[in-house]
Structure formats: C-alpha cells, structure tokens
Structure 1
Amino acid sequence: MITPILRMFELAKAKEFYIDFLGFNIDWTHQYEENMPIYCQISLDHIILHLSEHHGDSSPGSAIRIKLNNIKHFHSILQAKKYAFSNPALEKSPWNTVELTVIDPFFNRITFYEEMN
C-alpha cells in the first residue's frame, strides 16, 4: 500500500476541507511539542493520506490520483454540502474513466476516478 504525504499549512483549514467537505476521518495526529509542525493521518474507506506541516515532507501543489468505487455517489454527497470553496464536476476522460478533481487549500490536486466498463 502507498500512503501519499500532502503538505498543509494549517490544521484547521485542512480539517475544513478534508473532514468537513470530503468526509475523511482523522485517525491520529502527532506533534513533537507545542508550536512544532503537525503530522496526521486521515482516511476515507480504503484511502489513507498523511498531511504534514513539516516543510521537508512534501511540496504544496502536489497531484495524486485515487481510484474510487461509485464516484457518482461521492459526487452527490459533495454537491449536497454546498462547500463555498469547491464545486467539483464529474468528467469523462479519453482514457475511459470518470473523474472528479478537487484542489485543497494548499494547492494539492486530488483526482478521484472510476474506470468505466
């Protein structure tokens, strides 16, 4: 299993996007001591991501692709939330997938996709 690490700058903003909007759960957080960068794990079904405030862990503006079953259902859940900062659409790709792309507050691009039969 591969666990991507995405850069973040503020845990509260990350929670608003990943937890409140996308529906991930926070599994754990780690901080060596107060006023040090935070590192955490979030998950949604089979998807596990690490978010890090540590400057050496990742660069803002990364891009990842995540395979997802029933992307239309996931899209309807996101649409119902009426999140002010993102309104992703479903798109059919030339490589026979349906895709939904979101950009987090730290410019990381996440493309959820489902292969079409």
Structure 2
Amino acid sequence: MKKVTQQVVPAVRVASYALSKPFYEKLGFHELWTHQFEPGLPFFAAIARDDMQVFLTEHTGDCAFGALVHFYVDDVDAVHLEFLQQGLHVTEPPGNDLGPSVRNMLMVDPDGNRLNFVTVTES
C-alpha cells in the first residue's frame, strides 16, 4: 500500500486541553505547539503521533464533541498492545468489521471523540 502524506488536519473538541493532554500522550501523541490569545481564554493545540497530526481545541465555535477521526498505522495489533501497556481502556479491540483487508480498533477520548486506528493490508 502506498504511504499517504497527511494533507488535512482534523480538529477535535475538548473541554479541557490540560485534562485531555495526558490521555493523548498515553496514545503516543506529543505536543507540537499551543495557542491562547490571553490567559483565561480557550486553548488551541497541535499534537502528533509519528506523521499524523490533529488539533485539539477548547473553542466552542470550532467544532462539536463526538468527532470521528481515523488514524492509519502500520500494525494496529501492535498499537493495541502499546495502549494496553499504557493502562488505557480500548473501546473496541482490533477486528475486521470494515472488511477482510481492513483491521481497526476504536478508542474514545475523555470528551467522547472516537479515535479509530486502522491498518489496511493487501487483499
């Protein structure tokens, strides 16, 4: 399968970046940068895992809670083990419910956003 370079960065609504950041760090994401117009105003942050980037936003007008974001990974089963070792609850363990050549696992963040980790194999 040809490696795809990310061209779009999704935004995910969080109630508190300070509370969401540790969860995403356990998923292997690290902070790239944060922005806040002034103290007391909402945060907007960029985080990344490998070459996958996502924005986390506290701004009410940016988007709603309950997003669904797909993250393509080389080996979803290895990522599943990594998450278990971090003590995370995996909402739906790896399976092939999207087809025989698509293996996916679902995580839900503290704000109800669904994070689907996907591996596509040659069929």
2:90–2:106 CA contact under 8 A, matched in 1: no
For the residue of structure 1 that corresponds to 2:90, the secondary structure is coil
* Structure 1 residues 47-89: Cα deviation after superposition (integer angstroms, max 9, x where no partner): 0000000001110001121211122211111111123xx2341
Relative to the length of structure 1, the TM-score reads: 0.91
Matched, 1:93 2:104: no
Matched, 1:57 2:54: no
Relative to the length of structure 2, the TM-score reads: 0.87
RMSD between aligned alpha carbons? 1.2
Instruction: Give the aligned residue type for 1:78.
Output: F
In the alignment, which residue of structure 2 is the partner of 1:80?
Answer: 85
CA drift at 1:94: 4.1
| Runs (5+) with no aligned partner, structure 2 | 1-6
Corresponding residue pairs, total: 114
Within 5 A, what are the aligned runs for 1:14-33? 14-19=20-25, 21-33=26-38
For the residue of structure 2 that corresponds to 1:78, the secondary structure is helix
In the alignment, which residue of structure 2 is the partner of 1:67?
Answer: 72
In the alignment, which residue of structure 2 is the partner of 1:11?
Answer: 17
In the alignment, which residue of structure 1 is the partner of 2:107?
Answer: 102
Instruction: Give the aligned residue type for 1:6.
Output: V
| Runs (5+) with no aligned partner, structure 1 | none
